[in-house]
Amino acid sequence: MDFYERPDTDDGSMIETVAQDGRSHLVVIGNGMAGCRAIEELLARDGTRYRVTIFGAEPRVNYNRIMLSPVLAGEKSFDDIVINGHDWYRDNGIELVAGDPVVSIDREARIVVARSGRSVAYDKLLIATGSDPFIIPVPGKDLPGVIAFRDMGDVDTMLAAAAEGGDAVVIGGGLLGLEAAHGLTLRGMKVTVIHLMPTLMERQLDEAAGWLLKSALESRGQTILTGANTAEIVGADRVEGVRLKDDTLIPAKLVVMAVGIRPNVALAAQAGLDVGRGIRVDDHMVTSDPNIRAVGECVEHDGQVYGLVAPLWEMCRALADGLVEAPTGYRGSVTSTKLKVAGLDVFSAGDFSGGDSAEDIVLRDASRGIYKRLVIKDNRIVGAVLYGDTADGGWYFDLLKKGEDISDARDLLIFGQAFASGGGQADPKAAVAALSDDAEICGCNGVSKGKVVASITGGACSLDAVRSSCKASASCGSCTELVENLLALTLGDEVQAGPKTLCKCTSFGHDDVRREIVAQGMTSIPEVMQKLHWSTPDGCSSCRPALNYYLLCALPGEYVDDQQSRFVNERMHANIQKDGTYSVVPRMWGGLTNPRELRAIADVVEKFNAPMVKVTGGQRLDIFGIKKEDLPAVWADLNAAGMVSGHAYGKSLRTVKTCVGSEWCRFGTQDSTGLGVKIERMSWGSWMPHKFKIAVSGCPRNCAEATIKDFGVVCVDSGYELHVGGNGGIKVRATDLLCKVETEQQAMDHCAAFIQLYREEARYLERTAPWIERVGLEHIKRRIVEDEIGREALTARFLFSQAHSQEDPWAARASGVECEQHQHLGEFRPASALEAVR
């Protein structure tokens, strides 16, 4: 695209101005969510009318600030939250000036000047400068270690602090503050939240919901101080703590200010635009200068300033209409808040302060941690607060906005739309069908039911396609079920499940990647990425561990394990704890131990000052409080006593839980302890898609809880019942009966075959329970029970993989040292492919 330059009349410098292609030049100040969304809306209406230049203060492309919290928590990477990558700017002919914020606007000459000195002329200017974090004016606020939580730079600072461990204080118990505290807690820091008001998130929650939220956060290890007022931040060269007005001193190496935001109006005010709380705009988002528009958190419309996403999207639509001379006008927004605060669902809308003429409908379910409150005036909903179950938030909000009379549904209203619409029976599809076309489905992206249905009828036949076309369910994902129900209602049997890609770096799914690794004989992660056309140079935190596992499984004894593609716990041979130290779990075969092992553990505890030793649910001892730098020495001492890694951290076999069986118990039918030890020695150290647990119970009384394990053996008089696919975690699932066998060897062979089939077919991070539910129990039975030759082949491949796995430098087998009381139970096999701590 050709440009020409003209001299500035004041100092002779050159100014970039309008291209000679007949198009007007639209300059956007702000490369955030509002500015780029406005351009997306403009491009959707007329992609040829304007030449666009976007100035951004950050040296990055446009990303989703709503999703900064998952990045901090380690659930997503930066690449996962990018909204518009470099290709979007390039493909749409948009010039991005990143890391060079505009510092002045010359309205008369219609020129913006960036910090670098670059001057650019405009025909139309859009200000989307967002908001600034409010820093409370207390002594010490400028100390190093005091930060806000507004952009990716703040997240990087918090991650660096969390890597060193220690104490953190978050000032502010609103959404951002609680998300910051949650992320830092997950990263191992000891976090205290200080909140001035008596209720957390008091603008969104009433006292009851606030109390539930506070209790839930405290149960996760955070300290929550409400009604607490900050007096000063103390420290010499950097922050060392926070002192409250009551003289309480809270130690901290990191202080996060999350007490609120203010519209960023400095640039507009300097340019002489009409500014109140925000940049004042009319219904078409035009400022006091007809050539300048403004949108987003920096805007004040009809006396209101909005800090939520949905109103911003409505502004962007009105602005884009105006730029193509089809103005619809913005009339203000009624807002709701549907959030996932630290993994907890919260929704609020309207006025929940109540009053003399208001009535409350309240549902409390203490066992499920659910609280719902509807505020009713004149048979209309005027406010709603939901905690723990927010599925009906959109419905309540729709009724609130429209002021609909709820008299006929009053008795069923609190139980939700699915129940009310189904006449007393829960029917989610009927519920979403009853929503009006303008009902909001996706609050993060401001997408209505009508827009979702239009995307579906326009060819979006899968969840991923809907996300791509209209962005519904593309951010936090809380509306996914609603979108899936709309797909089912609109398309029926024509809904496409669609390929679930491994991650955003590739268009291939897990099954495709595994197949191509074998088909093309690929032997390294770079080779996979090159041949399968990865869209990123080095992959991401989602795909690299998966590729490392798939290569390990496909090439036993040949592929060299890539240490840097493993999670931190696997690299450290230990579980990182909230205080930054680690817990170490040595293996105890079948839950058995002996004096040599107990002495070794006691010596390690004393030598390294471990503050706690705990018996685990897997019949082992967990040593807590080990410093990172001491881990190699701890394992060296344990190895010397014949103890090896228990893989309490690994995507691998964790434990084989046993009862004492026929050797001691009067009810025992078989030697469950002996069989458990044999199975554990056969299978330990084998890397798998996810953690894997086994149990052997000596009789149907099932003391070892074999029927909630990935593989379970229940001994009976006539042999062994084999069970698969159990899960005792958050979602409890009882096992399915695989078959019954007569001998120990048959039980071990079936176990090896099942593990190998799971290793070869399951997707990385998919446990046995969802894998079996996906492929079907009959498939498992055909491969392992009915096909004897196939079972033998699976068993042979598993034993080959175990026999040819790589020697671990310092956490491997300890020179054949045996469990003294049970030497008859089998020899140690070759060491498995464990990785060294780096």
> pLDDT (tens digit, 9 = 90+) per residue, 492-521?
766 655 546 788 778 788 888 998 898 888
Count Cα atoms within 13 angstroms, Cβ side, for 804: 15
Q: What digits encode the pLDDT tens for the residues 489-498?
A: 887 766 655 5
Residue 17 has pLDDT above 50, yes or no: no
- Of 259, 275, 293, the position where a domain reaches its end is 259
Alpha-carbon distance of 205 to 182, in angstroms, equals 18
Write the CB contacts of 9 (distance below 8 Å, at least 6 apart in sequence). Answer: none
d(CA 416, CA 427) in angstroms, rounded, equals 10
Mean predicted confidence (pLDDT) in 824-833: 30
253 and 268 in one domain?
no
Question: Is 763 found in the same domain as 708?
Answer: yes
* Residue 377 resides in a domain: no
**pLDDT: which is higher, 127 or 687:** 127
* List of residues 6+ apart from 693 with CB closer than 8 A: 618, 653, 654, 655, 657, 709, 710, 711
Three-state SS string over 3-18 comes to: CCEEECCCCCCEEECC
756 occurs within a structural domain: yes
At 426, the pLDDT band (50, 70, 90 cuts) reads low
Rounded (5°) CA angle 650-344-762: 35
CA distances from 808 to 109, 331, 826 (A): 70, 66, 21
* Tokens 């698969």 belong to residue: 724
Give the range with max mean pLDDT: 5-19, 224-238, 465-479. Answer: 224-238
Output the pLDDT for position 398.
85
Please report, rounded to a whole number, the percentage of residues in the chain having pLDDT higher than 90.
43
- Note whether 477 and 518 are same-domain residues: no
User: Tell me: the pLDDT tens digits for 783-822?
Assistant: 999 999 999 999 999 998 888 764 443 333 333 333 333 3
Q: Is 645 in contact with 811 (CB distance < 8 Å)?
A: yes
pLDDT mean over 23-31: 95
**Three-state SS at 291:** coil
Q: Compute the average pLDDT of residues 157-163.
A: 92
Tell whether 484 and 519 lie within a shared domain: no
Question: Rounded mean pLDDT of 316-337?
Answer: 84
pLDDT at 646 (0 to 100): 84
Specify the amino acid at residue 43.
Answer: L
| Cβ–Cβ < 8 Å for 31, 96 | yes
Q: Looking at residue 106, which CATH number applies to its domain?
A: 3.50.50.60
Residue-level pLDDT at 272: 96
At 32-69, the pLDDT tens digits run: 999 999 999 999 898 889 999 999 999 999 998 888 88
How many domains are contained in the chain?
A: 5
Give a yes or no: residue 445 inside a domain. yes
For residues 514 and 446, membership in a common domain is answered with no
Q: What is the CATH number of the domain that holds 679?
A: 3.30.413.10
- Asked if 315 and 218 sit in the same domain, the reply is no
- Rounded CA-CA distance 669/654 in Å is 26
Q: Which residue has the higher pLDDT, 563 or 258?
A: 258
399, part of any domain: no
- Choose one of 446, 465, 496: the last residue of a domain: 496
pLDDT band for position 829 (50/70/90)? very low
Q: What is the CATH number of the domain that holds 481?
A: 1.10.10.1100
Vertex 428, ends 426 and 432: CA angle to 5°?
Answer: 135
pLDDT for 770 beyond 50: yes
pLDDT attached to residue 815: 30
Query: Is 622's pLDDT higher than 80?
Result: yes
pLDDT tens, 696-752? 999 999 999 999 999 999 999 999 999 999 988 767 889 999 999 999 999 999 999
Beta bridge partners, 280, equal: 300
Q: What is the pLDDT of residue 825?
A: 33
Q: State residue 805's pLDDT score.
A: 67
Q: Same domain for 164 and 272?
A: no
Residue 460 vs residues 238, 433, 455, 492, 584: alpha-carbon distances, Å: 53, 18, 6, 13, 49
Please name the amino acid found at residue 137. Answer: P
The highest-confidence range among 243-247, 377-381, 444-448, 559-563, by mean pLDDT, is 243-247
> Residue 341 has what pLDDT?
65
Tell me the per-residue pLDDT of 634-650, one tens digit each, with 9 for 90 and over.
Answer: 988 998 888 888 888 88
Q: What's residue 77's pLDDT?
A: 85
pLDDT at 837 over 60: no
693 and 796 in a single domain? The answer is yes
Structural element, H or E, at residue 441: strand 440-442
| Burial track 70-83 (b if 16+ CB lie within 10 A, e otherwise) | bbbbeebbbbbbbb
Co-location of 453 and 516 in the same domain: no
**3-state SS string over 135-192?**
CCCCCCCCCCCEEECCCHHHHHHHHHHHHCCCEEEEECCCHHHHHHHHHHHHCCCEEE
Kindly indicate the confidence band of residue 12, based on its pLDDT and cuts at 50, 70 and 90.
very low
pLDDT band at 1 (very low <50, low <70, confident <90, very high): very low
Cα–Cα distance measured from residue 468 to residue 483, given in angstroms and rounded to the nearest whole number? 13
Residue 202 corresponds to which amino acid? E
Residue 242 clears pLDDT 60, i.e. is over it? yes
Q: Distance between CA 124 and CA 134 in Å, rounded?
A: 30
Residues 253 and 269 in one domain: no
Q: How, if at all, do strands 344-350 and 292-294 pair?
A: unpaired
The pLDDT value recorded for residue 830 is 28
pLDDT at 781: 94
Q: What is the mean pLDDT of residues 528-549?
A: 83
Residue 380 lies inside a defined structural domain of this protein: no
C-alpha span between 685 and 645 (Å, rounded) = 8
pLDDT at 684 over 80: yes
Name the least confident of 428-432, 531-535, 614-618, 677-681.
428-432
pLDDT of 687 reads: 87
More confident residue, 395 or 479: 395
pLDDT value of position 249: 95
Report the Cα 627 to chain-centroid distance in Å: 27
Q: Where are the alpha helices (DSSP H) in 559-617?
A: 568-572, 595-607
The chain-wide mean pLDDT, for the chain, equals 84
Provide the token pair at 180: 């910051």
Q: What angle do CA 388, 82, 463 make, to 5 degrees?
A: 60
Between 173-177, 646-650, 651-655, the lowest mean confidence (pLDDT) is in 646-650
Task: Residue 546: give the domain boundaries.
Answer: 510-565
Plot region of 10 (φ>0 → left; ψ -120 to 50 → alpha; else → beta): alpha
Together in a domain, 16 and 91:
yes
Q: Which residue has the higher pLDDT, 312 or 442?
A: 312
Residue 250 contacts by C-beta under 8 Å, 6 or more apart in sequence? 167, 169, 192, 194, 241, 242, 243, 244
Q: Is the pLDDT of residue 257 over 60?
A: yes
What is the model's pLDDT at position 475? Answer: 66
pLDDT at 406: 85
Residue 811's pLDDT is what?
39
Region of poorest pLDDT, from 8-12, 81-85, 139-143: 8-12
Reading the block at residue 818, the tokens are 């045996």
Task: Name the token pair of 247.
Answer: 């003289």
Whether 641 maps to a domain, the answer reads no
Identify the pLDDT of residue 720: 95
Whether the pLDDT of residue 285 is over 60: the answer is: yes
On whether residue 303 sits in a domain, the answer given is: yes
Local confidence band at 238 (pLDDT 50, 70, 90 cut-offs): very high
**Exposed e or buried b for every residue in 103-136, given b needs 16+ CB within 10 A?**
eebebeebbbbbeeebbbbbebbbbbbbbbbeee
Q: Are residues 168 and 289 in the same domain?
A: no
